[in-house]
A and B are shown apart, each in its own frame.
Chain A
Amino acid sequence: MKLEEGFGKLDSIAHKLESGELSLDESISLFDESVKITKECLEILESGKGKLVVIKNELDKLIEEDLDD
């Protein structure tokens, strides 16, 4: 799943919940789904951010070493 896709699904869940026309069961199951999607989105964000941090640290180290020479 892509982040934007997850965001789209969450947005539509929020809309449905906000409409107030849902049964409790429906809203609970939608809520349940939203938790799963959020989790996935967070995972995507965290792993991407982690990669970025690693790359940035490596670059910073490289530049610092060069400047010290």
Chain B
Amino acid sequence: MQNKNVLTVSQVNNYVTAVFKAEELLQNIAISGEVANFSVRGEYAYFSIKDENSLLSCVCFSLKGNHIPRDGESVLLTGSVTYYVKTGKISFIVRKISALGQGALFARFTELKERLQKEGIFSEEHKKKIPLYPMNVGVITSKTGAVIRDIKTTVRKNNPRTNISVFDVRVQGEGAPKEIIEAIKLADSMNFDVLIVARGGGSFEDLLPFYDEGVTKAVYNTVTPIISAVGHEVDVTFCDFAADLRVATPTAAGEAASFNYADTVRAVKKALAFIGDSVFYQVEEYKERLKNALSIIHARASTFITNQQWKISSMITEISNSAFGRYEASERTLERLTARISLENPLNVLKKGAFFAFSGEKMIKEDDVERLCAGDKLRLVGNKHELDVVIENKHGKVTK
């Protein structure tokens, strides 16, 4: 190298290229690592290969006969490291892509997932119920972007009265997990009805914070029910597994964290009216039944009493009739006896116009006539008159 000469950019780059080409360690080598950001443009495939600490840009000029990897997949690449003169960038020109099974990072994630599973972080019985009528919602996500907008729009459409608080955090890159954990803990202490932790779609790398053990456990440990909406439909992060509810999109999270206010009010009103009506009708029905029962009881009781009264009164009539009957019979007996006696009343003759004869105070009977002489004075006593008479003569009865 000629230090004292001023070189052009091309000269430098050409030199570096030559050095790269001369270095055998960079030619026809095999690299193992995980694929990231795999994209295809025309015939070419652009992606990166990485391990935990390092990343290398790759270009494959023909995918024919090659394994087409997914992001996160561990692969074995063969090719050469080149220095691209035009841009001054280093690329690995891939000739061959081979699947290598589980990459190291993936293996670590698998191991973490198994451990979390064993600890019960993902267990169904731990999951809290999302409240049916949340009014206060805390959202842990980036303040900017479509995610928070979609959530707010959906919630407000359902129920404009819902309070939404946003906890602004970085959702990717280094430091994101710490911010997310702190935001979750803070939000959990603020008595929200429900929390949402959300992030839009992205590469596996972008979603890494949501595979973080700390974030996953923070989600698991909330007292407040928490909804996870991270990535797209196909991405299911540990955060998703640990949350009480996992949804695929921010819109779905908004739906889950709100209720249709108008519909609910209508339903409640209808239910109240129904309950009121049915209680009213029930009371009326019972009143009617009670009335009927009372009138039946009253009718039966009074029929019974009336019957008893009639029985008593007819018994009394019978008794008094027979008592009166006894007296009447006695009266008739007495009448008959007195009639018999009065028929023999010696005074009856006077009523017929006869007279009794008295000598002094003594009544003259047939036997007394012998002792009477002509010239004796007698008194004749009749019904209405008394006559003083003198006997002219005495003789036996003249029969005709």
Contacts and interface: CB of A to CB of B under 8 A. Distances in A.
A23 to B, nearest CB: 8
A24 B309 CA distance: 60
Contacts of B333: 7
Given A31-B346, A45-B334, A13 B363 contact: no
Interface string B199-231: 000000000000000000000000000000000
Interface string A35-69: 00010011001001100100110011001001100
Contacts of B345: 31
Q: Give the bracket for the number of chain B residues in contact with chain A.
A: 20 to 34
Interface stretch (B45-53, B145-153, B336-344): B336-344
B280 interface: no
B337 A66 contact: no
B365 A17 contact: no
Contacts of A14: 337, 340-341, 344
Interface in B321-367: 323-324, 327, 330-331, 333-334, 337-338, 340-341, 344-347, 363, 365
Contacts of B344: 14, 17-18, 27, 31
A34 B306 contact: no
A52 B320 contact: yes
Interface of B is mostly: helix
A10 B334 contact: yes
A31 B320 contact: no
Contacts of B334: 6-7, 10, 38, 41-42, 45
A13 B341 contact: yes
A5 interface: no
A18 B340 contact: yes
B330 A56 contact: no
A49 B338 contact: no
A49 B327 contact: yes
22 contacts: A7-B330, A7-B333, A7-B334, A7-B337, A13-B341, A14-B341, A14-B344, A17-B340, A17-B344, A18-B340, A31-B341, A31-B345, A31-B346, A38-B334, A38-B341, A45-B330, A48-B327, A52-B324, A56-B316, A59-B313, A66-B305, A67-B306
Given A31-B344, A59-B320, 19 more contacts: A3-B330, A6-B334, A7-B330, A7-B333, A7-B334, A10-B338, A14-B337, A14-B344, A17-B340, A18-B340, A28-B346, A34-B338, A38-B341, A45-B327, A49-B324, A59-B316, A63-B312, A67-B306, A67-B309
